[in-house]
Amino acid sequence: MDFAKMIDHTILKADATKEDVKKLCMEAMKYGFHSVCVNSSFVYYCAQLLKDSEVKICTVVGFPLGAMSTDGKVGETLSAIEDGAGEIDMVIHVGMIKSRDWDYVKQDIASVVEAAGDRAIVKVILETCLLTDDEKEYACRICKEAGADFVKTSTGFSTDGATIEDVALLRKTVGPVMGVKASGGIRTLETAQAMVRAGADRLGTSSGIVIVKGSHHD
């Protein structure tokens, strides 16, 4: 299995420097990762570094809490696409899910999907560790109705990351057409393999090199 093409090579920590991001891009080109995933302020920089490569640029929107206003998320999306992003990982509004304001949740996602248009795919980060199974299932259905391309487990900045059970639940709920991205705590080949078996077709990780090297010796 070619894990490299499933990996969004990620650096989202607050103290990531330009040198760190440059290293990420160089590694992504060397190992043939699907994309680099960076905070939106680094998108233009990555676009310059990766302009002659096939590596895509993924960025996060409303990160990491998801509680930014919809207008704020739309603005960040438009700016990132203008700078060169082809994939948008937006954080769902967990507080509105807990409030059971599903109209808000759906409109929030649909607004970002509309802003992205056909210029970028949209993945919705559910932050599964904060949701009940019922909330996860309902959120998945809302994402599908709102036109998102993927559902994603986690930011990696909350109380837990991806679990095999959550990936399986997301895949079962969205069916075969939508993508499922597992992220948060995927640090070994064994974990990556388990996530893929559970239904993930994209992996967000900062340990992509370890995973790919492991797969070559598997």
Per CATH, the homologous superfamily of domain 3-216 is Aldolase class I (3.20.20.70)
Provide the whole-model pTM. Answer: 0.97
Quick check: 218 pLDDT over 60?
Answer: no
The per-residue pLDDT for range 78-89, each reduced to its tens digit, is: 999 999 999 999
pLDDT band at 200 (very low <50, low <70, confident <90, very high): very high
Q: Is 89 a catalytic residue?
A: yes
Q: Which of 8, 83, 89, 108 is catalytic?
A: 89
Q: Is 83 a catalytic residue?
A: no
Q: Which of 108, 149, 152, 166 is catalytic?
A: 152
pLDDT value, residue 215: 81
Quick check: 97 and 105 in contact, CB under 8 A? yes
Quick check: 82 and 44 in contact, CB under 8 A? no
Quick check: 173 pLDDT over 60?
Answer: yes
Quick check: 2 pLDDT over 90?
Answer: no
pLDDT value, residue 217: 65
Average pLDDT, the chain: 97
The mean pLDDT of 147-157, rounded to a whole number, is 98
Domain ranges for the chain: 3-216
The mean pLDDT of 204-208, rounded to a whole number, is 97
